[in-house]
Amino acid sequence: MPKLSVVILTKNEEENIADCIKSAKWADEVVVFDAFSEDRTVEIARKLGARIIQHPFHDFAQQRNAALEMVDSDWVFFVDADERITPELAVEARSAIQDPSRDGWWVPRYNYIFGKIVRHAGWYPDYQLRLLRRGKARYDPKREVHELVILNGEEGHLKAPLIHYNYDTVSQFIERQSFYAHYEAKILFRQGIRPKPHNFILQPLREFKRRYITLEGYKDGWRGLLLSLLMAYYSFVTYLRLWRLWRL
């Protein structure tokens, strides 16, 4: 049987880490790859039997690449602290890693946003390439956030879902999207993309149309409308920050 490690990236996740680790106990090893948390994350993880590796955080891509280098299992299943592995997914993952023709597996993810699963507006099935054969995968260092896996091999798709307790409140959503917008602007800047006046209007409109109409956000009622509006707003914020980078 190939050895599989569930790797959980953490930074001050004392509220989430226990339930996440418990959902991963089926793995051969649970590794908490911690960016020097200042709360009780490490203490809780250690009590639950997780292996602790501490590594300074620069960006998400570098952190995941570091984990791939420092964990010695055949397979790595990346899980965030606010995610939970269902029993059905655990069984399917165990079976999947025995397939010699696949080096990576996409996992569908259910996103709980403002207390309920959101099934449209781009939030479902929200496939994530998380189950990786070590040595065959790395993360694109140019994608510091919303990381992109570079897979040297064939990929497959699992059916059982990963559960993501994503955003509880609007303020939490705004805080995290502001963080992402900062990194997205830096990525566009390095690509040499200069914002034009029409980007500040057309990009948010396109994003709203994509989320609310094309991806059927309207089917999720007020959540779908609010999420589509918020994502459109952060499209504007990204270009605003990009404009500021060009002015430095």
What integer is the mean pLDDT of 146-171?
95
152 has a pLDDT exceeding 90 = yes
Q: Which long-range contacts (CB under 8 A, 24 or more apart) does 64-68 make?
A: 64/9, 64/139, 64/147, 65/138, 65/139, 65/141, 66/33, 67/7, 67/9, 67/31, 67/33, 68/132, 68/134, 68/137, 68/138, 68/139
The pLDDT of residue 207 is 97
pLDDT level of residue 161 (50, 70, 90 thresholds): very high
pLDDT surpassing 90 at residue 84: yes
Provide the residue ranges of all domains of the chain, joining segments of one domain with +: 4-166, 169-247
With cut-offs at 50, 70 and 90, classify the pLDDT of residue 109.
very high
Which amino acid is present at 16? N
In the predicted model, is pLDDT for residue 70 greater than 90?
Answer: yes
Reported as a single tens digit per residue, the pLDDT across 202-235 is 999 999 999 999 999 999 999 999 999 999 999 9
Pull the structure tokens for residue 222.
Answer: 């007020």
Work out the pLDDT band at 170, boundaries 50, 70, 90: very high
Helices of type H across 54-148: 60-70, 87-96
Does the domain at 4-166 match CATH 3.40.50.300? Answer given as no
Task: Count the neighbouring beta carbons within 10 Å of the beta carbon of residue 126.
Answer: 17
Is the pLDDT at 107 greater than 90? The verdict is yes
Mean pLDDT calculated for residue range 185-194 = 94
Backbone phi, psi, residue 215, to 5°: -95, 10
Would you place residue 163 in the very low, low, confident or very high pLDDT band (cuts 50, 70, 90)?
very high
Q: Residue 157: its pLDDT value, please? A: 98
Q: Give me the pLDDT at residue 143, please.
A: 87
- pLDDT at residue number 146: 84
**In this prediction, what percent of the chain has a pLDDT beyond 70?**
100
Residue 183 corresponds to which amino acid? Y
